């Protein structure tokens, strides 16, 4: 059985995010995200300063002159927004993340030390600590029929959401050019070969070699 609960995918070491991650399933985090960001920005966060209206930034974070941040957004300490990065509202970036050239993020949470450095799309997704997206890897968040996303694990989970991208566990590695179809779940410490189309749920500590071959890590 593949465990897709929040506690199986992510270790939330940030006190700032404890209330948001106190959920059973990750899509419940996405439902709560807009209101939670609004509350944080309204109250303020110790150690964070206002970069612009509706945007809070931690110490040591850097934003290239050609990067774009649409509020509301929270940028963690030490995080780097490189040239051409596009943060498109309702985004929390944890500490020491990298958002790189032509990478677009919307309605998503990145925990600590996440890297999305080259040509990535991250829509309605959660990326765990130390997760890495290879160049051109994308989290597709809308089905062709535009119906609500259903997570297919040991049973089907009706999320009630029309837009869900990917839930990528701590320290997972997604290869270059991979496409995560809406509602894909990748477990902790799992590595995916380049160019694999991902659909459904993948166990932690695995190697995904192709759409039809997954083996345990040894």
Q: Which residues are part of the catalytic machinery? A: 118
Q: What is the DSSP string of the chain?
A: ----SHHHH-----GGGHHHH-SSSHHHHHHHHHHHHHHHHHH--TTEEEEETTEEEETT-EE-TT-EEESSEEE-TT-EE-TT-EEESSEEE-TT-EEEET-EEESEEE-TT-EEEES-EEES-EE-TT-EE-TT-EE--B-TT-PPPEEESSSEEE---SB--EEE-TT-EE-TT-EE-TTEEE-TT-EE-TTPEE-SEE-SSEEEEETTEEEE--
193-214: average pLDDT: 97
* Model confidence pLDDT, tens digit, residues 51-94: 999 999 999 999 999 999 999 999 999 999 999 999 999 999 99
Q: Rg (Cα) of the chain, in Å, rounded?
A: 16
pLDDT tens digits along 38-60: 999 999 999 999 999 999 999 99
Under the banding of pLDDT at 50, 70 and 90, the label for residue 178 is very high
Taking only the tens place, the pLDDT of each residue in 92-105 is 999 999 999 999 99
For the cut 90, the answer to whether the pLDDT of residue 31 exceeds it is yes
- pLDDT at position 1 is 72
Instruction: Check if the beta carbon of residue 184 is closer than 8 Å to that of residue 166.
Output: yes
Q: Taking 90 as the threshold, does the pLDDT of residue 130 lie above it?
A: yes
Distance from C-alpha of 207 to C-alpha of 70, rounded to nearest angstrom? 36
* Whether the predicted model's global pTM rises above the 0.85 cut: yes
How high is the pLDDT of residue 218? 86
């Amino acid at each position: 059985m593949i465990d897709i609960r929040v506690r199986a995918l992510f270790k939330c070491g940030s006190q700032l995010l404890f209330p948001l991650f106190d959920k059973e399933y990750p899509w419940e985090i996405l439902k709560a995200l807009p209101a939670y960001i609004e509350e944080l920005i309204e109250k303020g966060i110790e150690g964070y300063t206002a970069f612009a209206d509706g945007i809070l930034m931690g110490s040591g974070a850097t934003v290239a002159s050609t990067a774009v941040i649409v509020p509301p957004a929270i940028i963690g300490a030490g995080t780097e927004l490189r040239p051409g990065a596009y943060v498109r509202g309702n985004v929390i970036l944890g500490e020491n993340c990298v958002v790189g050239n032509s990478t677009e993020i919307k309605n998503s949470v990145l925990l600590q030390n996440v890297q999305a450095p080259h040509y990535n799309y991250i829509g309605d997704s959660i990326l765990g600590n130390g997760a890495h997206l290879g160049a051109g890897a994308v989290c597709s968040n809308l089905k062709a029929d535009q119906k609500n996303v259903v997570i297919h694990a040991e049973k089907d989970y009706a999320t009630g959401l029309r837009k869900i991208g990917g839930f990528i566990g701590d320290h997972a590695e997604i290869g270059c050019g991979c496409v995560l179809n809406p509602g894909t779940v990748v477990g902790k410490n799992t590595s995916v070969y380049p160019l694999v189309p991902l659909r459904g749920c993948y166990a932690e500590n695995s190697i995904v070699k192709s759409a039809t071959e997954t083996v345990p890590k040894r």
